[in-house]
C-alpha cells in the first residue's frame, strides 16, 4: 500500500526504482504523503544509504519539483560553481569574473547566508546601488552581453528540497551523504548550468569535519552530476582556518578586489586558481589544470579579471567609483591589534572568529551575520586578519583589525579574537595543504 511499500523497500535495504522515487517526491511535495511518513523514509535512507543511481533519481525528482531555469539562449557552456561554505570564503566574487573574462559564461543564482557573515548575494548587496534581484530576461540578457550575472534565486527552485531539508533538520537525518548530495545537486541542476564545479570543504570551520567525509560527499555529487548529463568536478579544500583574511561583507568585497588586483592572500589565491582551472576545463577553454591555472594567473596579471568585475558591478547598478581607488569598508569604530609574541601561527579558530563576528549576544556588537533569515546584516563590520595560518610573527606586527558598530566594546572583542589565534615558538609539525585533491 503506497507509500508504505516505498518506506518498507528502503527500510529493508532494497534499491528503489526511478518510478518509486519520483512518485514519492511528487506526492510529498503535493501534500499527499504525510510528514511522519516522509520522516520514516528519510530515516530509512539515513541507515540504508542509496546507490549512485538512486541518488541521481532523487536529485532529478527534487530538481523537477519546481521551476527549471532555461539557459539555452546563452551561447557557450554555462558553468556553475558551488561551495559547501566556510569562513572568509570569497571565492565566487573572484573566480566568477575571471572565468567570465576567459569566455566561459557564468549565470549564477546565489542564496543569502545564515551564520557567520552573509552569502554571496549579501556581499554583493553591500556595494551601493547593486541589484541582486533581476527579472529573468534581464538576467539572461546580461549573461549574453557580458558573460556574467549573479542574482538571488527567483521563482520556486527545488521546493521538494526545502520541504525535505526542514524535515531532516527536525529528525536528525541531515548528515546523510545521499541526502546532502541530492539537496545540493538538485538546486544546481534546476539552476540550468551545463557543467558544475564544486568546492567541498572539510575541517573545523566546515560542514564536513573530516577529509574522508568531504571526499565521500564530493565523489557522490560528481557521480550524480555526471550521471545526470552535467559534467561535474569537485575540489576538496581545507577549512581548518579561514580561507581568506576578511570576515564581513564589505571587507570580503574589498578582499575580492585586492585578489583580482594580484594582492590576494596565499590560501585564497590557491583555491581561486584550483576552482577557476576546473571551471575553464569543463567550459572548454583549458586542456588541463596546469593550463587553467596559468590562464587564471594571466587574467589577474593583465587586469582583465578586475575589468570584468567592474563591468559586472556596473551592469547590476552598483557603484564602481571606489574599485581600485579606496576601500568599500567604512565602520564607526576601527581597532588594530598587534602581536605580543614571536613564533608561528599554528592555529586560527575560524568557527570561533565567525561566531564572534555574527552570533548571539556578541552580534549586537559586530552584526556581520544572521542567525535568522529575517535578521539584518551590518555590511561594514567584521574582522580583517593580517596573518594567515603557518605565517611567522614578531612582536609589534599588526595581527588583525576590528571594524565595529558605534558603542561596541572593541577591547573586549579584540581579546576574544586574539584568544583564537594561536602563536607557538615552533612551526607546526604538519602543514595541511589548502587544496587536497580534485575529483572528476
**Which residue reads 552580534 in cell numbers?**
363
Looking at 10, 56, 81, 82, which residue is catalytic?
A: 82
C-alpha cell at 220: 557522490
Task: Say if residue 361's pLDDT is above 60.
Answer: no
Q: Which of 65, 126, 183, 238 is catalytic?
A: 183
Q: From the candidates 80, 89, 161, 199, which is the catalytic residue?
A: 161
The ranges assigned to domains in the chain are 4-49, 79-315, 333-424
In this model, does residue 360 exceed pLDDT 70? no
* Residue 12 pLDDT level (bands cut at 50, 70, 90): very high
Residue predicted with more confidence, 357 or 172: 172
Give the tens place of pLDDT for each residue, 166-193.
999 899 999 899 999 999 999 999 999 9
Provide the 3-class DSSP secondary structure of residue 20.
helix
In the predicted model, is pLDDT for residue 364 greater than 70?
no
DSSP letters for 45-68 = HHHH---HHHHHHHHHHHHTTS--
The helix (H) or strand (E) run that includes residue 261 is: none
Q: What is the pLDDT of residue 337?
A: 97
- 301 pLDDT band, cuts 50/70/90, is very high
| Residue 100 in this model has a pLDDT that exceeds 90 | yes
- The pLDDT, as a whole number, for residue 153 is 73
Q: Is the pLDDT of residue 370 over 80?
A: no
| Residue 247 pLDDT exceeds 80 | yes
Third-level CATH fold of 333-424: Aldehyde Oxidoreductase; domain 3 (3.90.1170)
pLDDT(359) > 80: no
Copy the grid coordinates of residue 326.
579606496
Torsion, CA 146, CA 151, CA 156, CA 158, rounded to 10: 90
**Which three three-digit cell numbers place residue 335?**
581597532
Reply yes or no on whether the pLDDT at 85 is more than 90: no
* Residue 81: active-site member: no
Instruction: Let me know if 391 is a catalytic residue.
Output: no
CB 416, CB 283: distance < 8 Å: no
363 band by pLDDT with thresholds 50, 70 and 90: very low
Is residue 244 a contact partner of residue 236, using CB atoms and an 8 Å limit? no
The H-assigned helical ranges of 172-323 are 177-190, 211-227, 249-260, 266-282, 289-301, 304-315
- From the candidates 10, 81, 108, 168, which is the catalytic residue? 168
Active site residue 82: yes
Cell, residue 267: 590560501
In the chain, % of residues over pLDDT 70: 93
| Nine-digit cell string for 138 | 534581464
**C-alpha cell at position 204:** 573545523
Q: State mean pLDDT over 239-257.
A: 95
**pLDDT grade, residue 382 (50/70/90)?**
very high
In this predicted structure, what is the pLDDT of residue 17? 97
Architecture of domain 79-315: 3-Layer(aba) Sandwich (3.40)
Crossing angle of helices 18-29 and 4-11, in 10° steps, is 130
Query: Which residue in this structure is represented by grid cell 599588526?
Result: 398
Domain 4-49: which CATH class? mainly alpha
Band the pLDDT of 111: cuts 50, 70, 90.
Answer: low
Angle between helices 159-171 and 177-190 (to 10 degrees): 160
Q: Report the chain's mean pLDDT, rounded to a whole number.
A: 92
pLDDT band at 87 (very low <50, low <70, confident <90, very high): confident
- What's the confidence (pLDDT) of residue 379? 87
- Identify which of 112-116, 154-158, 348-352 has the greatest average pLDDT: 348-352
CB contact set of 36 (below 8 Å; sequence gap of 6+): none
For residue range 305-343, list pLDDT tens digits in order.
999 999 999 999 999 999 999 999 999 999 999 999 999
pLDDT at residue 352 in the model: 87
The pLDDT confidence band at residue 112, using thresholds 50, 70 and 90, is low
Amino acid at each position: 500500500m503506497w507509500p508504505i511499500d516505498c518506506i518498507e523497500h528502503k527500510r529493508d535495504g532494497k534499491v528503489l526504482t526511478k518510478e518509486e522515487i519520483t512518485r514519492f517526491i511528487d506526492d510529498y511535495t503535493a501534500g499527499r504523503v504525510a510528514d511522519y511518513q516522509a520522516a520514516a523514509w528519510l530515516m530509512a535512507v539515513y541507515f540504508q544509504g542509496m546507490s549512485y543511481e538512486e541518488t541521481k533519481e532523487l536529485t532529478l525528482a527534487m530538481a523537477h519539483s519546481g521551476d527549471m531555469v532555461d539557459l539555452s539562449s546563452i551561447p557557450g557552456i554555462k558553468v556553475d560553481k558551488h561551495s559547501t561554505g566556510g569562513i572568509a570564503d570569497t571565492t565566487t566574487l573572484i573566480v566568477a569574473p575571471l572565468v567570465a573574462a576567459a569566455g566561459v559564461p557564468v549565470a549564477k543564482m546565489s542564496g543569502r547566508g545564515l551564520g557567520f557573515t552573509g552569502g554571496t548575494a549579501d556581499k554583493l548587496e553591500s556595494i551601493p546601488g547593486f541589484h541582486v534581484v533581476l527579472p529573468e530576461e534581464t538576467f539572461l540578457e546580461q549573461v549574453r552581453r557580458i558573460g556574467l550575472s549573479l542574482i538571488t534565486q527567483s521563482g520556486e527552485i527545488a521546493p521538494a528540497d526545502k520541504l525535505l531539508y526542514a524535515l531532516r533538520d527536525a529528525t536528525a537525518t541531515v548528515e546523510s551523504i545521499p541526502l546532502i548530495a541530492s539537496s545540493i545537486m538538485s538546486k544546481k541542476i534546476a539552476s540550468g548550468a551545463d557543467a558544475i564545479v564544486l568546492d567541498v570543504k572539510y575541517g573545523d570551520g566546515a560542514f564536513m569535519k573530516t577529509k574522508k567525509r568531504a571526499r565521500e560527499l564530493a565523489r557522490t555529487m560528481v557521480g550524480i552530476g555526471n550521471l545526470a548529463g552535467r559534467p561535474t568536478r569537485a575540489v576538496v579544500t581545507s577549512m581548518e582556518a579561514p580561507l581568506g583574511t576578511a570576515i564581513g561583507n564589505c571587507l570580503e568585497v574589498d578582499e575580492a578586489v585586492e585578489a583580482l588586483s594580484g594582492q590576494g592572500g596565499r590560501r585564497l589565491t590557491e583555491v581561486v586558481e584550483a576552482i577557476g582551472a576546473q571551471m575553464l576545463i569543463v567550459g572548454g577553454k583549458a586542456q588541463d589544470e596546469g593550463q587553467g591555472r596559468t590562464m587564471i594567473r594571466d587574467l589577474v596579471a593583465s587586469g582583465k579579471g578586475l575589468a570584468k568585475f567592474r563591468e559586472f558591478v556596473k551592469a547590476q547598478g552598483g557603484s564602481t567609483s571606489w574599485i581600485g581607488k579606496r576601500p568599500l569598508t567604512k565602520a564607526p569604530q576601527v581597532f588594530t591589534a598587534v602581536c605580543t609574541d614571536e613564533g608561528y601561527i599554528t592555529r586560527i579558530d575560524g568557527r570561533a572568529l565567525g561566531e564572534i563576528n555574527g552570533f548571539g549576544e556578541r552580534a549586537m556588537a559586530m552584526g556581520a551575520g544572521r542567525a535568522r533569515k529575517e535578521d539584518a546584516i551590518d555590511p561594514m563590520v567584521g574582522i580583517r586578519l593580517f596573518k594567515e595560518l603557518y605565517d611567522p610573527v614578531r612582536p609589534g606586527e599588526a595581527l588583525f583589525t576590528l571594524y565595529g558598530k558605534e558603542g561596541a566594546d572593541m577591547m573586549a572583542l579584540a581579546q576574544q579574537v586574539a584568544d583564537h589565534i594561536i602563536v607557538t615558538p615552533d612551526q607546526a609539525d604538519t602543514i595541511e595543504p589548502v587544496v587536497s585533491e580534485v575529483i572528476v
